Structure 1
Amino acid sequence: MKTLVIITHPNLEQSRINRTWMQELKKHENITIHTLYQTYPDGKINVAHEQSLLESHNRIILQFPFYWYSTPSLLKKWQDEVLSYGWAYGPGGDKLHGKELGLAISTFGPEESYQPKGYNHFSMETLTTPLQQTSNLIGTKFLPLFVLNGVMHVSDRELAENAKAYVDFVLQPSKVEA
């Protein structure tokens, strides 16, 4: 299965987690890595190119740090422009039907903070509901979440293990739990 991983981190070079995940993914030929902030430093998205990338892959993984209970701004802009009416949804908007869509998210807060009784009051599943609904609208199968919480406290050994689990998730998401 051809897999596209869209990495959206505005400071990827300084991100220990997202950079490590990306480096581990690069070891696998059947994974296409696409970094939005490096590709579009001016924020001007080539919609036709992005749509072509999406059409040529069966599985799409959106990798990003969780910012203000959402995605980084460029990923939101990407969604607004690339997942267009008549292409991704609406009449004739079936170009992504049957593909898989997954999320790989890193968070600053610990796992317990993303629970109904935690600091953030909601689970990651609840907080990512808009992305799941986007998946429903564009006709993709929404995959289980891959989340690494508490990134400031992850040891090098834990990160190395997590990066390998992330690759497993990207290649076979139904068989892996984060």
Structure 2
Amino acid sequence: MPRILIQFAHPTLSKSNVQKILEKYCRNVKGVTFNDLYEYYPDLYIDVKREQKLLLEHDIIIFQHPFYWYSSPPILKQWQDLVLEYNWAYGPEGNKLAGKKIFNAVSCGGGREAYKETGYNRFSISQFLLPFNQTAHLCKMEYLPPFVVHETYTMTPEALDLHGRQYAHVLNALARNEISPEHYRNIEYLNELAAIHAES
């Protein structure tokens, strides 16, 4: 079974109902390792060898984080700068991550309609995440559509729980090898895949 590594980054988790729900559900999925980067590295001093070992031990990597200023909290950039070394993750001899799957699981305050050409933010979530997509490509990894939770500031407890269950559904399906490229090639968010599977 594929093993899943969640690279979690939230500097103030106690204030995030959404991320706490996602964490609760993903920790109950067999084969998932939850790596809280701010908990391990409060001073942003990344243990490169530990992180590289975790990457080698897992098949699917998830960057789970709030959508801060159209990107991620700073520790994820620090992590990429230090861990994805030349001739290890990329470069002529950098094949350590080749073939692994990777995607972002993000939460954001704005609604889905705000993330389009005619919306308030002018671009889609996937467009804002293009640096992650290109990083995956450079490292010969397969980049999947993101899992996205919108309207976090106004969400009801029932809606929060629904997103948590959808997230767990996606993770369980990935861990059981039940999701293939033809399933997500034409969808915008992995949330849609969870909804489709739930109805089938």
Partner of 1:25: 26
For 1:154 and 1:106, locate their aligned partners in 2 and report how far apart those are by CA, in whole Å: 11
Q: Which residue of 1 aligns with 2:134?
A: 133
Q: Is the 8 A contact 1:98 1:139 kept in 2?
A: yes
Contact map agreement 1:61 1:170 (CA 8 A) in 2: no
How many residues in Structure 1 have an aligned counterpart in Structure 2? 178
Are the equivalent residues in 1 in contact too, given 2:102–2:143 (CA < 8 A)? Answer: yes
CA shift, 1:19, in A, is: 1.2
- What letter is aligned with 1:143? L
1:30 shift after superposition: 1.1
Whole-Å separation in 1 of the counterparts to 2:9 and 2:91: 26
Q: What is the identity, as a one-letter code, of the residue corresponding to 1:32?
A: T
| Cα shift at 1:103 | 0.8
Deviations 1:57-96 (A, max 9, x none): 0000110001111111001110111111111000221100
Question: What displacement does 1:26 show?
Answer: 1.3
C-alpha distance in structure 1 between counterparts of 2:152 and 2:139, whole Å: 31
Q: For each residue in 1:118-156, what CA deviation from the matched residue of structure 2 results, as whole angstroms up to 9, or x when unmatched?
A: 000001111111110011001111111110111011111
Structure 1: gaps of 5 or more residues: none
What's the counterpart of residue 172 of structure 2? 171
Identical-pair percentage:
37
What is the TM-score of this pair, normalised by structure 1? 0.96
1:27-42 correspondence to structure 2 within 5 Å: 27-42=28-43
Map of 2:83 onto structure 1:
82
User: 1:168 deviation in Å?
Assistant: 1.6
Q: In 2, are the aligned partners of 1:65 and 1:72 still within 8 Å (CA)?
A: yes
- Distance in 2 (CA, whole Å) between partners of 1:56 and 1:70 is 26
* 1:177 Cα deviation from its structure 2 partner: 2.9
Structure 2: distance between partners of 1:8 and 1:141: 21
Question: Which has the higher mean CA deviation after the structures are superposed, 52-61 or 25-34?
Answer: 25-34
Q: SS state of the match for residue 89, structure 2?
A: coil
Residues 107 and 150, structure 1, Cα contact 8 Å, conserved in 2: yes
Structure 2, gaps ≥5 residues long = 184-189, 193-200
CA distance in 1, matches of 2:154, 2:170: 22
* Map of 2:70 onto structure 1: 69
**What's the secondary structure of 1:151's corresponding residue?**
coil
In the other structure, the counterpart of 2:95 is 94
Counterpart Cα distance in 1 of 2:71 and 2:173: 25
Separation in structure 2 between the aligned mates of residue 51 and residue 119 of structure 1, nearest angstrom = 38
